[in-house]
A = this chain, B = another copy of it.
Amino acid sequence: MSILVVGSVAFDDITSPSGSVKNILGGAATYFSLAASYFTQVRVVAVVGEDFGPEHETVFHKHGIDTRGIERANGKSFRWGGSYFDNLNEAKTDYTDLNVFERFQPRIPKEYQDTEFLFLANIQPTLQADVRRTMSGVRLTGCDTMNYWIKGTPKELAETLKLVNVLLINDTEAKMLAGETSLPRAARKVLTMGPQALVIKHGEYGATIFFGEGAYGVGSHPFRAPTLPIDEVKDPTGAGDSFAGGFMGYLASRKEVTRETLKRALFYGGVMGSFAVERFGTERLQGLSRDEIDARFQIFRELTHLT
C-alpha cells in the first residue's frame, strides 16, 4: 500500500541546548515521509525553490520515496528558524520565510491518484480539503493542523475535518479546537466534528488515541502509548511529523485498519518520534533500519506492559 503526504519541504536553522545547525533539510512532509518510508511506499506533494538541489532529492530517493509530486518554483524554499531552551516542548520561532510555500497549490500527479492512504500535513485547511476531494480512491485520511488555523480559519477547518478519518494534534490544539479545558471532554467534542479517531500528542508523555462512538469496532476506551524517556533530546523539530509518519506508515502497511492496528500505529508513531529527536534535523531518520525500529517498539512495550 502507498501513502501520500502533502505538506512542506523546508530548510531550517535550529538552536537547542545541544547545539546549533544551519540550512538543514526539514519541513513536515520531509520528516513524515522519511518516518513512513520504513513501513510503506511514500509519495510527496510539496513545493520547493531553486535552493533544493539533487543532494536533497537524494535523501528522499534513498528511501524509495516518490518525489514526482515535488514542484519546483522560482525563488527560495520555505525557511524556518527556531530555538529551544530548557523547555524542549516549545520552540521559539526566530523567523518564518514562507517564500515559494506562500503560493503552494498542491497538484496531485496522475500517477498518485490510486493512493489509498493520505496525510494532510499542517497547511491551510482549504488546500487540505481540496486535496482530499481530488483523491477519490483514498481509504483513510490523516490530518494535522495548528493553532494558527484553529483561530484564524475555523470555518474552513470545520469543512476539512468532515473529510478526515484521523486527526493528529497536541493537547493545546485539541483544547483550543473544542473550546474545552478538560482533555477527555475536548476529545469527545472533536470526535463529533468529523474524525472517527483523534490522536492527541502529549510531547514527552506520549500520546492518546480517542475513538468516535462505534468507530473501528465496539468499546469506547481510549488507548495511550508512551514515549521513551530520552536523556538528551537534541532537537524536537519534526517530532510530531515523524510521529505521524510512523503512525500512518504503519497503518498503510496493514491489510485492514482496525482498533488494534490503530493502537499499534500509536506505538510506532511514538517510536519514530523518539528516534527523530535524538539528532538534529532528519539525521536519525535517514539512517535507521527496520530492526532498530522493531527493537524500540519492543522497548516501548516493556515500558508499559505488565507481565
Chain A residues near B (Cβ < 8 Å): 17, 86, 181-185, 187-188, 202, 204-206, 208, 210, 221-226, 229-233, 260, 263-264, 267, 299, 301-307
Looking at the complex, which one of B187, B202, B299, B306 makes contact with A301 (CB distance below 8 Å)? B306
Establish whether residues B304 and A224, one from each chain, have CB atoms under 8 Å apart when the complex forms.
Answer: yes
**Copies held by the complex:** 2
Give complex CA distance A302, B263 in Å: 11
Establish whether residues A302 and B221, one from each chain, have CB atoms under 8 Å apart when the complex forms.
Answer: yes
By a CB distance below 8 angstroms, the chain B residues around A226 are 224
Majority-rule SS of A interface residues? mixed
Looking at the complex, which one of B206, B223, B303, B307 makes contact with A205 (CB distance below 8 Å)? B206
By a CB distance below 8 angstroms, the chain B residues around A233 are 182
Establish whether residues A222 and B303, one from each chain, have CB atoms under 8 Å apart when the complex forms.
Answer: yes
By a CB distance below 8 angstroms, the chain B residues around A223 are 302-304
By a CB distance below 8 angstroms, the chain B residues around A231 are 182, 184-185, 188
By a CB distance below 8 angstroms, the chain B residues around A210 are 229
User: Min CB distance, A250 to chain B, in Å?
Assistant: 12
Looking at the complex, which one of B17, B181, B221 makes contact with A303 (CB distance below 8 Å)? B221
Establish whether residues B183 and A229, one from each chain, have CB atoms under 8 Å apart when the complex forms.
Answer: yes
